[in-house]
């Protein structure tokens, strides 16, 4: 079944602008999750009610904090918040913590919301991982402390994330595979908080680095693990790189190349196009990342060996440091076509 995604998204934008009472009258949703007066009292129940098939299933998430840890496995699932700031989907799981039924969470398994189907749309809400990362810096009870808010899995493709706040610390947004259009979002974190192998276009997003109290190194924004055969990975277009109060100048790297599992078929790719950067961005921009090579020997992938680029960066953290490779006009235009023939 063919789905016109542009008409779906524009229609949802018009519906969300109506306000809660008129939304119901408009009849634009298949399910409404509310503490009172909805069709369901949990998002899990609304997801379970979706019938098989490919037609879009539209869910309105009402105001409130919905403490649920969920996976989307149905194609063309559309999730719209009643209010961006107060419609909050939240869980608190981190890699290394015990999970129900035995064992412990891994990075991917820690996600508050995991998408394992194509055609997913999220709009006008907040998704957070509430794991207390700052407290863990003090007591180190959890090793690693990867805690994902949103994960787009291997079966995800043509995902649209629009006007969403994604909040976490380490590994906030895991774009594992597929294509994603991310627009007008706030993405907040500290360590590798936008990472994975997807082809993704981030447009007009605020990328906010969070304070790690007492730490000299404050973090890394992106950690792409792009397949070597994939020409373009993450593209940040007209985004703003901001910081929490107290975060020092020059203490955050634009990113580092993640070679997941030491796989030589992965070679990180990312580009920052027409972005404004505050002074917390390190002058050199990019840095290396370690991995285990054949036989388990420690190795490192240098940023110069990966595919990292910039184009017309502005602000106190922008500029033309020798280590930050620049694109020309034609090259930047090609990077903006990262999504190929998909026009969300």
- DSSP for 213-259, written as a single string: TT-S--EEEEEE--BTTSS--EEEES-EEEE-TTPPTT-EEEE----
* SS3 assignment, position 285: coil
Question: 338 φ, ψ to 5°?
Answer: -60, -30
Is 13 within the bounds of a domain?
no
Active site residue 154: no
Q: What is the pLDDT of residue 40?
A: 97
Helices (H), 117-161: 133-139
Q: Are strands 77-81 and 64-67 parallel, antiparallel or unpaired?
A: unpaired
What's the rounded Cα separation, in Å, for the pair 297 and 40? 53
> And the tokens for 80?
């719209």
Is 253 within the bounds of a domain?
yes
Domain count, the chain: 1
Is 314 within the bounds of a domain?
yes
Q: What is the pLDDT of residue 27?
A: 53
CATH of the domain at 139: 2.160.20.10
List the one residue out of 275, 264, 343, 337 whose CA is nearest residue 309. Answer: 275
pTM score of the predicted model: 0.92
Is 270 within the bounds of a domain?
yes
User: In a structure prediction context, what are the per-residue pLDDT tens digits for the chain, which is 344 residues long?
Assistant: 344 545 444 554 554 444 444 444 345 999 999 999 999 999 999 999 999 999 999 999 999 999 999 999 999 999 999 999 999 999 999 999 998 888 999 999 999 999 999 999 999 999 999 999 999 999 988 887 999 999 999 999 999 999 999 999 999 999 999 999 999 999 999 999 999 999 999 999 999 999 999 998 999 999 999 999 999 999 999 999 999 999 999 999 999 999 999 999 999 999 999 999 999 999 999 999 999 988 889 999 999 999 999 999 999 999 778 889 999 999 999 999 999 999 99
Is 344 within the bounds of a domain?
no
Is 47 within the bounds of a domain?
no
Is 32 within the bounds of a domain?
no
Q: What is the pLDDT of residue 296?
A: 86
Q: What is the pLDDT of residue 24?
A: 43
Of 192, 249, 305, 329, the active-site residue reads 192
**Contacts for 226 with CB less than 8 Å, ≥ 6 apart:** 197, 232, 233, 234, 266, 267, 268, 269, 270, 307
Is 35 within the bounds of a domain?
no
Helices (H), the chain: 5-16, 20-26, 43-48, 133-139, 329-335
Which residues constitute the domain of residue 72? 61-335
> And the tokens for 196?
């994975």
């Amino acid at each position: 079944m063919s789905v016109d995604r542009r008409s779906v998204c524009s229609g949802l934008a018009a519906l969300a602008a109506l306000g809660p009472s008129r939304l119901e009258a408009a009849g634009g949703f298949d399910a409404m999750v509310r503490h009172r007066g909805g069709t369901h009292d949990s998002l899990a129940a609304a997801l379970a009610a979706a019938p098989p098939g490919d037609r879009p299933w539209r869910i309105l998430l009402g105001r409130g904090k919905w403490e649920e840890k969920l996976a989307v496995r149905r194609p063309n699932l559309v999730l719209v918040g009643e209010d961006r700031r107060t419609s909050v989907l939240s869980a608190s799981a981190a890699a290394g913590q015990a999970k129900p039924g035995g064992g412990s969470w891994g990075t991917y398994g820690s996600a508050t919301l995991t998408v394992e189907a194509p055609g997913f749309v999220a709009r006008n809400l907040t998704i957070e991982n509430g794991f207390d990362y700052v407290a863990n810096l003090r007591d180190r009870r959890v090793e690693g402390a990867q805690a994902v808010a949103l994960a787009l899995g291997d079966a995800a493709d043509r995902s649209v994330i629009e006007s969403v706040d994604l909040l976490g610390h380490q590994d906030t947004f895991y774009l594992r595979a597929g294509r994603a259009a991310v627009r007008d979002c706030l993405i907040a974190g500290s360590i590798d908080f936008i990472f994975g192998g997807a082809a993704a276009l981030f447009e007009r997003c605020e990328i906010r680095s969070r304070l790690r109290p007492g730490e000299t190194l404050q973090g890394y924004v992106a950690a792409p693990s792009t397949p070597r055969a994939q020409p373009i990975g993450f593209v940040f277009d007209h985004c703003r790189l901001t910081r929490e109060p107290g975060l020092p100048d020059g203490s955050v790297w634009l990113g580092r190349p993640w070679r997941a599992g030491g796989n030589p078929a992965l070679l990180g790719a990312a580009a920052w196009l027409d972005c404004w950067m505050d002074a917390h961005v390190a002058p050199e921009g990019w840095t290396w990342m370690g991995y285990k090579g054949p036989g388990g020997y420690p190795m490192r992938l240098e940023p110069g060996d990966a595919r990292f680029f910039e184009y017309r960066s502005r602000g106190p953290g922008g500029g033309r440091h020798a280590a930050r490779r620049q694109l020309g006009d034609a090259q930047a235009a090609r990077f903006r076509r990262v999504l190929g023939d998909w026009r969300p």
